[in-house]
Amino acid sequence: MKQIVLLFLLLCLQTISVSAQTFDYPATRKEAVVDTFFQQHIVSDPYRWLENQYSKPVIDWVQEQNQLSKKYLAKASNKTNAFLAIDKYSYVGVPQNYTKAGKYYFRYFYYNNGGNPALYYKTQMSKDPSEDDLHPLVDPAHISSKDKIVLRDYSVSKNSDLLAYQFSRNGSDWAEVKVVELKNAVHRNDHLKDVKFSNLSWKGDGFFYAAYPEGKVQKLFYHKIGTSQSEDKLIYEANSLSTTLSFFTTTDERYFVLTVRNEQTGSKTFFYIDYDQAEPMLKPILANIKFAFNILGSVNGKFIAQTNHEANNWRLVEFDPKSPFNWREVVPESPDMLMDNTFLLKDRMIITYLSKGRPFLTVIDYSGKMLYKLELPIATTIGNITGSADEDEVLFRYYSYTFPTVVYKFNIRTFERTLTERTTVTYDLDNFEYKQVDYSGKDGTLVPMTLVYKKGIQLNGKNPTLLEAYGGFGAISQPSFSPGLIHFIKSGGVFAYASIRGGGELGSEWAMQGRGQNKQTSFDDYISAAEYLIKTGYTSSDKLAGTGASNGGLVVATAAIQRPELFKAVVPKVAPLDMLRFEKFTIGIFHTDEYGSTKDSLGFQLLSRYSPLHNIKENINYPSMLIMSSGNDDRVPPFHSYKFAAALQNRPSQKNPILLRIENNAGHNGATNMYSSVREEADAFAFIMDLLFE
């Protein structure tokens, strides 16, 4: 009997030692740094030295953090089979990414495992893809053997003779531009640098682009093919660092349209050039527009714009640039569908809508008459419509969480859809169940959420569950294929995506309810989603993980700090976490309209209430966290994650693991090639599954 009692005590001690496991975190010094706000609020910032991210002490500290997390994640990956499974599922969707521009079809293609995709092209899309002649056009490996090159964007000249393409190095937002001849894939000598947050828009024998020469304000230039960048014509110069420029040339190249946006106030001013005029020059159209208004193109000399002015679900209007306040409503606001994307053609347009998590594809003429409407299943996405405005055929992509991208040809006259190629997957596509639910937010507002799980699974309150959200900037979050989710769901997990306020899934008002001084509403909606999943018997707090990227990372980190008892594991990615200093770095100043500013007392109070870094309590053992970021992130500098990890790790009460994983030579979008992308996703799911499936 004594032996049995002794054995029982030993087992209990072993269990306690595992649950109270301590980690030998890298030594992180504290410094006596404080800020005083409005002469009365003193805020300590002991880890500010980590903001000097390129200093040797910080580089060494990050390396030690990566070594610790790598060791833990390797064991977790082996236990959960995460890397091998996700690697297997990652390649199923690679070939299906055709687009059409001018006379050609283009496709990014991974020509070797682990590398970056090269750009290929061909002249036709036959019924038998094996008959098509696919030619290599731009190979990242030929640009640099030292840097990780990512092809970002390309634009084809109106006559289809030339293609200008952007590429970046090691994940940076800074880009370069080169030009290649399409008839023979010969590269020209044109080479532009200092390009950032820019598209490329052709006009005649050159194109427009935006750059930040010497790292100062953004400027708009016109580059003529065959000349040096120093000869480029300056078209417009922003008046402050918080001003950004976006632009396009209409498909007939009659008009050039420039949008100047003040990122702090959200107001826009529009300019245009009419090349039918005897002396074309840049002229203003509309100034200081406070509501959302996006000029999409022109038809018969009139501009078509999509706006939420007096239309929560958006509408389309037409106006003459010479009489910009005289609008004709082309497509009115739908009472029950959110207008998403609009693609203009010569005498009709394709508009995609969203309604209760379900996408619709419509064809509408310029009198506003609906000619065709296609309803698609919930939690699927129609995206990237491409083609020529004067042709009947376009391409569009179609995908979801559990099936990879496929590309359809779509005829706007006959409405016939044709699959360009079939994708072979290594799992049963019909073995997943999708469900749309509404749950009550803290204030009683119904919030939509999508659930995905394996058919036949027993929902018994013990299901490992992953809750994700974004909820910012009015962005409409739609499903995208995730190899990691395939592995998670096939292993018995439940995935939930909450369309919380701050996002644009339910229109403009939905976005405003989670913005600025209402930002806490986003976090409350996410917390309510977690409570719903627990109360309704999908999962428990011991089986619930949360994740999100960028603004979504802020959401999940804030929720974990405010309600730590709800979550077993949390994975914030490339997240702003020091909200009292976010606006002082890179493009943080662009986002004060979303979050507020410490420059005014109300903004300081709001930010200090929810800033994850500043609300960590000394006596709380927070959920296990894998804090993920990228070393070259130009949008949300990685020191947000450094400081947050350091503050969580260096408290005696923290028993659950706090790991920091930094992807080197990568930017805001994460890993820059196939192998590292698989590794990054596998680490996240290995961490989550190791904790939830134990």
Rounded CA-CA distance 297/304 in Å is 6
Q: Residue 92: what pLDDT?
A: 65
Average pLDDT score over residue span 72-82: 97
pLDDT digits (tens, 9 = 90+) for 21-65: 568 999 999 999 999 999 999 999 999 999 999 999 999 999 999
Q: Is residue 400, in this structure, part of any structural domain at all? A: no
Q: Is residue 248, in this structure, part of any structural domain at all? A: no
Boundary residue ending a domain (183, 212, 237):
237
pTM above 0.85, yes or no: yes
Q: Is residue 511, in this structure, part of any structural domain at all? A: yes
Q: Is residue 307, in this structure, part of any structural domain at all? A: no
Q: What is the CATH number of the domain that holds 178?
A: 2.130.10.120
pLDDT band at 95 (very low <50, low <70, confident <90, very high): very low
Q: Is residue 111, in this structure, part of any structural domain at all? A: yes
Q: Does 206 have pLDDT greater than 50?
A: yes
Same domain assignment for residues 576 and 680: yes
E strand intervals along 280-379: 283-284, 293-299, 302-307, 315-320, 323-331, 338-344, 348-355, 358-365, 370-375
User: Which one of 388, 477, 668, 676 is the catalytic residue?
Assistant: 668
Boundary residue ending a domain (237, 263, 285):
237
Overall number of domains in the chain: 2
Check if the beta carbon of residue 645 is closer than 8 Å to that of residue 658: yes
Q: Does 1 have pLDDT greater than 60?
A: no
Q: Residue 9: what pLDDT?
A: 37
With CA atoms as reference, report the closest residue to 313 among 151, 474, 436. 474
pLDDT band at 126 (very low <50, low <70, confident <90, very high): low
Same domain assignment for residues 597 and 529: yes
Q: Is residue 379, in this structure, part of any structural domain at all? A: no
Segments forming the whole domain that contains residue 222: 96-237
Boundary residue ending a domain (198, 222, 237):
237
Same domain assignment for residues 636 and 553: yes
CA count, 13 A, side-chain hemisphere, 232: 23
Q: Is residue 491, in this structure, part of any structural domain at all? A: yes
Same domain assignment for residues 528 and 642: yes
Same domain assignment for residues 66 and 204: no
User: Which one of 550, 611, 630, 641 is the catalytic residue?
Assistant: 550
Check if the beta carbon of residue 553 is closer than 8 Å to that of residue 609: no
Q: Is residue 247, in this structure, part of any structural domain at all? A: no
Q: Residue 111: what pLDDT?
A: 57
641 given a catalytic annotation: no
DSSP state, residue 227:
S
668 given a catalytic annotation: yes
Same domain assignment for residues 160 and 226: yes
Rounded CA-CA distance 288/260 in Å is 9
Q: What is the CATH number of the domain that holds 582?
A: 3.40.50.1820
Amino acid at 438: D
